[in-house]
Amino acid sequence: MKAQMIHLVSMTEAYRAKKALMGSVSQIRIIPTPTSINKRGCGYSLVFQGDLEEARRILKKSNIPIRDYESKNF
């Protein structure tokens, strides 16, 4: 399954991001950022189906900092 992944700095930001994206993307869930991706310690990521660029715009407008992002087959 092709999914989008947005990496965030904390669980708090992940929950804020999930709430901001509700209704804009589908099948959204929060996961620990894989250690193969996050070399700077702990972090959380959102995995979802939908438009990655639109999600990034929504999070920017909501003042939610994004560490990184990618499209990936999961």
What is the third-level CATH fold of 2-73?
Answer: Alpha-Beta Plaits (3.30.70)
pLDDT band, very low/low/confident/very high, at 74 (cuts 50, 70, 90): low
Q: Residue 1: what pLDDT?
A: 58
Considering the chain, what percentage of its residues have pLDDT values greater than 90? 70
Q: What is the pTM of this model?
A: 0.86
- 31-49 average pLDDT score: 83
- Residues 61-73 pLDDT 10s: 999 999 999 987 7
CA distances from 23 to 32, 38, 46, 50 (A): 22, 28, 14, 10
Domain ranges of the chain: 2-73
What distance in Å separates the CA atoms of residue 16 and residue 59, rounded to the nearest whole number? 9
pLDDT at residue 3 tops 70:
yes
